[in-house]
Structure 1
């Protein structure tokens, strides 16, 4: 009788341990930004998609991608509706609800450039020329400190890159700022050459991009394991190989 009781208790402990293990999928807040993340043939693809998938696989986790505009992705993370986001800049405000992995997964070296219409006579040669212009920005995105904190500028927030381009072409904004690699996938090659041009002024400081977890995520207690595995993937060249093959 004692043996049966002890055996029963052991089975209960084992069952409890198995149920306590986090089997839920890792929910990835995903905003569309080719070549880093995009949706094609009913699947998510891109550099960031492959990196987070590889990281999850190494830790025996399943992933679920949830597409959202950038601002909504941040809201999902703040509320705990998503677990993780990839390729995000570290800011004081975001540190209130995000925990970042130790190392950045990338350092963005392409400059932030200001786009204007090809037929525009605007001259944006320095920061002061931005005054009184209608400047398109992505909602909740950050660019560089001086610009982000400047409340005197007329910033027009939109949801995605396509809206930025269309509003510029329709003369609803005077300019927008972004890196060229993020703009080109959203516009026809001919239109890019014939309808828009780059202003002289640009911001050319590199920016680190990180993988960050919601502080309300059920995976937050495993943050050290994620960090260690990411460091290993960086050291082994696996993450660079993903970049090189895209």
Structure 2
């Protein structure tokens, strides 16, 4: 068989395999992180979840969603139990395991939250000496000095809301979280009356839909980025952002100050 024919058949087979892979149900995991993705009485909602869902529907891709603790999300992707992970930061280490569409879902800013009853002035890293800071296990903070500092201790919590609950009970001194996400959670739990955040930004980063590498999803990553950019220029996306920038104070399962809870 001539070389040209063999190359043509190989290319055709590759295209068919890619289309077949895209025709399968895509398994995507993420951790609950309002307002980007969360469970609202059994219904998934959130800025990035709804954005990704709209884009994938336009591409004709069926999706199976699952919320897990963050470390389990990473393990599921690494072990091949998931095809994608929603709202993950792009790092050189992760690029060895994942494909990242060129367009991010969201851009975020990490800041330090404090209890009004127990404020801790913060201007520079040395101001954190001896403090206990609530963090999310497995999260990447795009500030090497903060990430590797030994001036303070890190206290993980099972959820973002639990971190804020510990803050008002003085079990941690500060909590690091995304500005938008933190404000949304505080409004939902009623803790916005008790917690504020410092204006200084610890780190800025972008969140992506990470897809499992070597799983025939390369074309999907390119198509997702293209359609996502298109959707971001539509009025529907502007309305979606506005809705999640102004959260309703619907209560989550977080204890108010003065009550005990096991976290």
Query: What corresponds to 1:168 in structure 2?
Result: 167
**TM-score (norm. length: structure 1):** 0.78
Q: How far, CA to CA, are the matches of 2:150 and 2:25 in structure 1?
A: 40
The 5 A counterparts of 1:1-16 are: none
Q: What SS does the aligned partner of 1:202 have?
A: coil
Q: What SS does the aligned partner of 2:127 have?
A: helix
Describe the shift of the 1:30–1:230 C-alpha distance in structure 2 as closer, same or farther (beyond 3 A): same
Q: How far, CA to CA, are the matches of 1:159 and 1:237 in structure 2?
A: 36
Q: How far, CA to CA, are the matches of 2:130 and 2:213 in structure 1?
A: 39
Deviation at 1:85, TM superposition (A): 2.4
The 5 A counterparts of 1:32-71 are: 32-71=32-71
Deviation at 1:177, TM superposition (A): 1.3
- Which of 133, 136, 139 is residue 134 of structure 2 equivalent to? 136
Q: What SS does the aligned partner of 2:181 have?
A: helix
**Structure 1 spans left out of the alignment, 5+ residues:** 1-15
Q: Is residue 111–residue 203 contact of structure 2 (8 Å, CA) maintained in 1?
A: no
Describe the shift of the 1:121–1:94 C-alpha distance in structure 2 as closer, same or farther (beyond 3 A): same
**Structure label with greater radius of gyration:** 1
Q: Is residue 142–residue 204 contact of structure 2 (8 Å, CA) maintained in 1?
A: no
The 5 A counterparts of 1:1-246 are: 22-108=22-108, 111-120=109-118, 122-145=120-143, 146-187=145-186, 191-199=190-198, 202-203=200-201, 206-215=204-213, 217=215, 219-220=217-218, 222-234=220-232, 239-240=237-238, 242-244=240-242, 246=244
Q: How far, CA to CA, are the matches of 2:187 and 2:224 in structure 1?
A: 39
Deviation at 1:59, TM superposition (A): 1.8
**TM-score (norm. length: structure 2):** 0.73
Give me the CA root mean square deviation.
Answer: 3.0
Q: How far, CA to CA, are the matches of 2:31 and 2:75 in structure 1?
A: 12
Q: Tell me whether 64-73 or 150-159 shows the greater mean CA deviation.
A: 150-159
Q: Is residue 36–residue 49 contact of structure 1 (8 Å, CA) maintained in 2?
A: yes
Q: Tell me whether 82-91 or 158-167 shows the greater mean CA deviation.
A: 82-91
Deviation at 1:161, TM superposition (A): 0.7
Q: Is residue 105–residue 207 contact of structure 2 (8 Å, CA) maintained in 1?
A: yes
Q: What SS does the aligned partner of 2:61 have?
A: coil
What is the CA deviation profile of residues 93-137 of structure 1, one whole-angstrom value per residue up to 9, with x for unaligned ones? 2222121101223333xx432222222253323211112111110
What is the CA deviation profile of residues 198-226 of structure 1, one whole-angstrom value per residue up to 9, with x for unaligned ones? 34x62165422222212254534543333
